[in-house]
Chain A
Amino acid sequence: MRGAAVAGVGLLTGWGEGAAALPADARAAARGRRVVTLARPALAGERFRRATRECLLGVAAVEALLRDAGLARATLRGSDTALLYVTAGGYGASNVEFATGETGTGGALHFPYTAPSAVPGEVAIEFGLTGAYSILIGGATATLDALWQAARLLAAGRSRRALVLAVETFAECEALWTRARWLAGRPLVETAACALLVPSDAATSLQPSRAPAELEALARARGGEALAAGPLVALALARAAGRAGVLTLTGEWRGRRAGLTLEAH
């Protein structure tokens, strides 16, 4: 399949903004913390008053991308930009809050924010995105599936740009996540990341993969466990290092390991 190239990356992690904020060794830098948290972004506007932290992180990640790529908001607006959102558990906090709200132990969260579609919904409203739209649930392999789907939309001429966004938060469900050792490594690092893809002549392919590629290992060592955001952390690291040409991204989730090739500008 005709492929996709990376035109920009936005990265917010518990370590700070951008790849430069990532430590050399996430495990050591966590200093025993099981979760490295991201603060609720202070976004102005009445519409954001009721929005969840995950929604605001999604919006803030896209703003970080626009800064990284030197693009104006208007570039994304309209039906030419596809939006693909991925998360393994970014809905956990809202679901727990709503579920416990009835018994008085939680808040009275507005029900629509429990849906995974709330995060991309808020992003679409904020940036005026009205193009192709998909939401996948899962870890790193789901993000590779979304990047592949984005490349497909570009190759077919259905979109001129594709925004792939992942948001993972853990703080509100720390007790659950830290016990689920078979699903997630350590430390769990809250991350909101996105990549803007544009058409490219380099081929893009999605295949099974036997072992982590160099970028996956690097992203995990420096970024920590970011689940669905992991491949986007890898892209941010490659971009910060000025790597051009074809990149190989890999990831694993629930026993499935996959790999994807993409071009870096």
Chain B
Amino acid sequence: MAAGAVTPIGGDLDAFWSGLVTGSDGITRIERFPVDGLRVGRGGEIKKLRAGRPPGPGCRATQLLFAAADDLLARAPLDAPAERVALAIGTALGGVEELERALAPGGTLRQAAGGLYDAPTHALARRLGARGPSLTVSTACASGATALGLAADLLREGAADCVVAGGYDILCRFVMRGFDALRSLTRERVRPFDRRRSGLLLGEAAALVLMTRERDARGPRLGRLLGHASASDGSHLTAPAPDGRGLEFAVRGAMAEAGVAATDVDFVSAHGTATPLNDRVETQVLQRALGPRAAALPMNSIKGGLGHTMGAAATLEAIMCLLAAREGVVPHTVGLEERDPECDLDYVAGAPRAVRPRVSLSTSLGFGGCNAALVLEGAGG
């Protein structure tokens, strides 16, 4: 597995990692579109995209995806016939900003077609010349994890030899209005697992990994995806099930597929949105699924500095797990200062920690009762 990314705290993979370990804050006043009339006008906005190859269409979602792909391919070229290269791309919003443009005066049919949620995936397939299966996954904010899982399945069953997988989403007025109306956005700092946490802020990003079967891997590798699972809550459209049943099913399923026990897990990358309910439910699920091991593990959430990057979030978090294994450092939970007695696990506060996690667990949740978990093994330093 190799990786590429574009994020509010860094325009490529190296800058992303550097931003994580230095505790960079990517939350700023949103400038790209009007935020008037909204309660909250801040988020993890990418101010400038690096100039690389021509960006292609004007759709920002596609531009972010292309930027992450350029970063990825600079590190690990595609090494398979076009028909054997597949895509598995997660998104919560697709190209919805194009739909907004299409509906505005002067809007075009091209913009309307770009508003289909799978349009950016197909634009990326054309850009890469990939002619294998091209999957767009939309399990809301768990999309980036589900996509990696589906990519592993495509490889395992021989449907492809090489999969570009990951997730993306952009900040746009459509999504800002939606979360603003739900009162999910905080006017304060994002504080995952903190006693004073009061909600999330959104961010935009794209993150991709290049996945191959172990025997086909060439060059330096970040690590392996050992197991994955997804589950539905069947409980509520926007809130996690109070008992966390879907997330627990996903965590146990991913660990079973990976063949790891709780005692094998060295680190947990939590979804950690900083909403009061999410962080409490997630803590309880980890305590049940990992037993006594949960209290002994370092865990974190990287949404404090990035914002919640929706479809990109789980892929960024998976990449962070593998980079932590390579670098021997676990980034801290930006924004966490005062422990919440109801979130009494070791959510690495204050500063990065020198530890080299071999096996990591990453958890994700999303609207529609979506839950996903990944178990990853770092290649080590």
Binding site for B on A (CB under 8 A): 1, 79, 83, 88-89, 91, 95-96, 98-100, 102, 111-118, 120-122, 124-125, 127-138, 141-142, 145, 148-149, 152, 156, 158, 176, 179-180, 183, 206, 208, 254, 256, 258
Nearest B residue to A254 by beta-carbon distance?
B122
Given A114-B178, A120-B368, A134-B137, also A152-B112 (CB < 8 A): no
- B113/A130 in contact, CB under 8 A: no
Tell me the minimal C-beta distance from B213 to chain A in angstroms.
16
| B136 to chain A: closest residue by CB | A137
A182 to chain B, nearest CB (A): 8
B253 near A130 (CB under 8 angstroms)? Answer: no
Task: Write the nearest CB–CB distance from A7 to chain B, whole angstroms.
Answer: 20
Cβ–Cβ contact A121 & B136, under 8 A: no
**When chains A and B are docked, how far (Å) is the Cα of A152 from the Cα of B115?**
31
In this complex, the interface size class of chain B, counting residues with CB under 8 Å from chain A, is 35 or more
B236 interface residue, CB < 8 Å from A?
yes
Query: Sorted from nearest, which 5 A-B pairs have the closest CB atoms?
Result: A117-B368, A121-B368, A111-B178, A133-B232, A124-B234
For chain B, what secondary structure do more than half of its interface residues adopt (helix, strand, loop), or is it mixed? mixed
Known: A95-B115, A102-B177, A129-B234. A256 touches B134 (CB 8 A): yes
Q: Are B118 and A138 in contact (CB under 8 A)?
A: yes
B230 adjacent to chain A (CB < 8 Å): yes
Contact among A99, A120, A148, A149 with B174 in the assembled complex (CB-CB below 8 Å): A99
Cα distance A170–B56 in the bound complex, in angstroms: 29
Q: Does B289 contact A (CB under 8 A)?
A: no
B138 touching A116, Cβ below 8 Å: yes
Contacts beyond the supplied A115-B368, A116-B368: 19 A-B pairs with Cβ under 8 Å: A99-B103, A111-B181, A114-B178, A115-B92, A116-B117, A117-B369, A124-B233, A124-B234, A124-B369, A125-B234, A128-B234, A129-B232, A131-B249, A133-B370, A135-B137, A138-B134, A141-B133, A158-B253, A256-B134
> With A112-B367, A137-B118, A254-B122 known to touch, is A131 a contact of B133 (CB < 8 Å)?
no
B232/A136 in contact, CB under 8 A = no
What's the least CB distance linking A20 to chain B, in Å? 32
* A130 x B245 contact (CB < 8 A): yes
Contact of B133 among A1, A111, A130, A145 (CB under 8 A): A145
> Which residues of chain B have C-beta atoms less than 8 A from A129's C-beta?
232, 234
Considering the chains assembled together, what is the distance between the CA atoms of A136 and B113 in angstroms?
17
- Give complex CA distance A94, B159 in Å: 34
With a cutoff of 8 Å between Cβ atoms, the chain A residues found around residue B235 in the complex are 125
Q: Is the CB of B139 within 8 A of A117?
A: yes
Q: In the complex, are the beta carbons of A111 and B182 less than 8 A apart?
A: yes
Q: List chain B positions with a Cβ less than 8 A from chain A.
A: 83, 92, 94, 96, 99-100, 102-103, 109, 112-113, 115-118, 122, 131, 133-140, 146, 150, 153, 157, 159, 173-174, 177-179, 181-182, 229-238, 245-246, 249, 253, 257, 366-371
Contacts of A142 in B (CB 8 A): 118, 135-136
Asked if A1 and B157 sit within 8 Å, CB to CB, the answer is yes
Inter-chain contact A95/B99, CB cutoff 8 Å: yes
Identify which of A95, A122, A128 gathers the most chain B CB atoms within 10 Å of its CB: A95
Selected contact of A208 from candidates B83, B118, B138, B371, CB within 8 Å: B83
Known contacts A117-B367, A145-B135, A180-B113: A206-B159 contact under CB 8 Å: yes
Contact B232 A124 (CB under 8 A): yes
From DSSP, what is the main secondary structure of chain A's interface residues? mixed
B237: which A residues are within 8 A, CB to CB? 112-113, 118, 121-122, 125
Verify B371–A133 contact, CB threshold 8 A.
yes
A112 to B368, CA, bound (A): 8
- Could you say which residues of chain A place their CB within 8 Å of the CB of B369? 117, 121, 124-125, 133
Contact of A88 among B116, B179, B253 (CB under 8 A): B116
Q: How far is the CA of A130 from the CA of B236 in the complex (A)?
A: 12
Subset of 5 A-B contacts with CB under 8 Å: A115-B140, A116-B138, A133-B371, A137-B118, A137-B137
**Are A131 and B370 neighbours in the complex by a CB distance under 8 Å?**
no
Assess the A130–B117 pair: CB atoms within 8 A: no
Residues of chain B within 8 A of A100, CB atoms compared = 103
* Contact residues in B for A137 (Cβ distance below 8 Å): 94, 116-118, 136-138
A102 to B137, alpha carbons, bound, how many Å?
28
User: How far, in angstroms, from A73 to B113 measured CA to CA in the complex?
Assistant: 38
Separation in Å of the A239 CB from the closest CB of chain B?
Answer: 26
Alpha-carbon distance A145/B237, docked complex (angstroms)? 25
Contact A117 B366 (CB under 8 A): yes
Task: Tell me, in angstroms, the Cα distance from A83 to B109 when the chains sit together.
Answer: 33
Smallest CB separation, B333 vs chain A (Å) = 27
Q: How far is the CB of B45 from chain A (nearest CB, A)?
A: 20
Among B83, B135, B238, B371, find the residue whose CB has the most chain A CB atoms closer than 10 A: B135
Give the CA-CA distance A239 to B174 in the complex, in Å: 42
Which residues from B are CB-within-8-Å of A120? 232, 368
Question: Do A83 and B153 touch across chains, with their CB atoms under 8 A apart?
Answer: no
A130 touches B246 (CB 8 A): yes
Q: Which of B96, B102, B232, B236 has most chain A Cβ within 10 Å?
A: B232
Residues of chain A with a CB closer than 8 A to B122's CB: 254
Chain A positions within 8 Å of B246 at CB level: 130, 133
Q: How far is the CA of A113 from the CA of B134 in the complex (A)?
A: 25
Q: CA separation between A124 and B53, bound complex, in Å?
A: 43
